[in-house]
Amino acid sequence: MLDSVAIARILPHRFPFLFIDRVVEVTPGQSIVALRMISSSDPILQGHFPGNPIVPGVVQVETMAQAAVILAHLSGEFDPATQDCLFIGIEDAKFRAVAVPGETLRIEVQAERLGRIGKFSGRVLADDQVKCSAKFSAIVAPKRAG
């Protein structure tokens, strides 16, 4: 549905901090499903952990947040040309299994509330195994100068 070029038009993040590779499903105002392919060449894995690469849990949560920003945009609640969408809270984060190179992560995010302050719930899976889940919130604000 959205490739990496379309995603880069929405998100301000760039390599190595852009964690969404593709969006495969969207129901505006409700939910999004995105994918992230984990490669052993990912810069984060070079130091986490050498010889035993594991995607940090905080990166998995950030991946869900990036998917939520795309959902907000596709729902008409966020304009990347004039606004920033900023993380403001994380609740009930649970880390259930490690995410490792070679896996494709499926990021599922549901909008609990959209608007100036958005609330979301999400989970990250690989091969139907839940890697992590969390509830989180973000605020849409005028773009900062600079």
- Alpha-carbon distance of 4 to 54, in angstroms, equals 23
Catalytic choice (13, 22, 48, 135): 48
**Contact present, 73 and 79 (Cβ < 8 Å):** yes
Residue 38's pLDDT is 97
Helix (H, G, I), strand (E, B) or coil at 4: helix
Can you read off the two tokens belonging to residue 103? 């896996």
Q: What is the pLDDT of residues 97-141, one digit of tens each?
A: 999 999 999 999 999 999 999 999 999 999 999 999 999 999 999
Q: What is the pLDDT of residues 24-82, one digit of tens each?
A: 999 999 999 999 999 999 998 988 998 999 999 999 999 999 999 999 999 999 999 99
User: Is 48 a catalytic site residue?
Assistant: yes
Domains and CATH numbers, the chain: 4-142 (3.10.129.10)
Distances from the Cα of 124 to the Cα of 28, 51, 103, angstroms: 20, 23, 11
Model confidence pTM above 0.85: yes
